[in-house]
Amino acid sequence: MKSPPFSRPLALVLALLLAACSAMTPPAAPQIQGTGDLGLVVERASGSLQLLNTSSRTALGRVQGLGDLSHASLVYSRDGAHAYVFGRDGALSKVHLPSLSVVARVQQSGNSIGGAISQDGRWVVAQNYQPGGIKVFDAQDLRLVADIPAEYAPGKRSRVVGLADLPGPRFIFSLFDADEIWLADLSQPSAPQIQKFKNVGHQPYDALITPDGRHYIAGLFGEDGLAKIDLWAAEPKVERILPGYGRGQQPLPVFKMPHLRGWAVAGRLAYLPAIGRHEVLVVDTQSWAEVARIPVAGQPVFVMAQPDGRQVWVNFAVPDYDSVQVIDTQSQRVVHAFKPGKAVLHMEFTPRGEAVWISARDSDQISVIDTRNYRSLATLPAQAPSGIFFTSRAQRMGL
């Protein structure tokens, strides 16, 4: 049967109308999930991470199966969507926050205590105890691109600590067993250029980079003082600072190594934990001379400044590891003290500093504290929590 004479023109008109309507309809918006107010807490006993929301102060879910996280740390991709987790057992995992999934994982060493990510986000670097050295991975798929053993004498490797990212494709790290600091330029990852600074002081145990990327400062476990390198100098060299802060005094047994990575800078002053002492050292960052000491409740582990630098928060090693003290940077004295739980291991400020999140391992909880009035805002259950890492770290150097 033949079609009616009007059917073909009518079909053409309808097709044109549908095409026009389709052209006027905007395409579906891409599904984008922001990560700016998220973070992760390490649950060391269960080898898991818990995803946190800093605005709603809630836990959103858990990533499991990450191995030994007893001394785990992590860094973020530039967009904050992925975390690179460095396990104590030498595993490196890439975790996608929005989907709470592990998207890549490599067993890269036998014992690792942290890592860093390059300024452009291309390279992820792990610092290793066993075997001693650093390894460089492609951030996309964790493909190994460079292996730099910390061999300081024939057949001798050092444990690596204090790894920090620098402007450009460069990383700097300390060799605990060799009394050395190395700077690696990864402009050509297959042929890294290494600059070595020797005899920096006995047993550099941890280090920090100033927020502007200029100064690298390594603490010394084997003697009083710190080693400093001005990386802006035409010919960088090691200088010793605070060489006699414990002179004539008997140091106390060290129950937990202090951490310099969470160091506090307020104005032109830096606040540092004193090894084996119940003191926080105050240092002028222009002259790098000690200007004050602040007595505190015990041996400091983390000494961390609020984002505005108005106060400095301190937690402690055993037997005082249930305590936190707050130092006012104007009066240089402790203005508040409290006990947020058993075995306080880490503190992390929200990006603008209105609250601080505190992990208490032996209480299996995280406390959220208002930094203005020290009021408790929330308490979240967690499985032996330790390190807390917010995605705002993605935009900061040396974390």
**Model pLDDT, residue 263:** 66
Residues 178-205, mean pLDDT to the nearest whole number: 95
- Residue 22 makes CB contacts below 8 A (sequence gap 6+) with none
pLDDT for position 255: 53
Nearest one of 374, 371, 375, 316 to 342, comparing CA atoms? 316
Q: Distance of alpha carbon 175 from its chain centroid, rounded?
A: 19
Amino acid at 268: R
Q: What does R_g of the chain's alpha carbons equal in angstroms?
A: 25
Tell me the whole-structure pTM to 2 decimals: 0.89
Could you tell me how many helices (H) and strands (E) the chain has, helices first? 1, 34
Question: 263 is written with which tokens?
Answer: 């160091």
Lowest-pLDDT choice from 26-35, 87-96, 119-128, 218-227: 26-35
Q: What is the pLDDT of residues 34-62, one digit of tens each?
A: 889 999 999 998 999 999 999 999 999 99
For each of the domains in the chain, give its residue range(s) and CATH number, in order of start. 108-253 (2.130.10.10)
Determine the pLDDT at residue 71.
86
**If pLDDT is split at 50, 70 and 90, which confidence band does 21 have?**
very low
The residue-averaged pLDDT of 153-181 equals: 96
Task: Report the distance separating Cα 391 and Cα 293, nearest Å.
Answer: 33
Contacts of 276 (CB under 8 A, 6+ apart): 246, 251, 252, 253, 254, 299
On the question of pLDDT at 27 being above 70, the answer is no
Q: Is the pLDDT of residue 4 over 70?
A: no
From 172, 276, 262, select the one nearest 222 (Cα to Cα).
276
Q: Collect all residues with Cβ–Cβ distance below 8 Å to 90 and sequence separation of at least 6.
A: 107, 108, 109, 110, 111, 112, 128, 130
pLDDT in tens, 299-314: 999 999 999 989 999 9
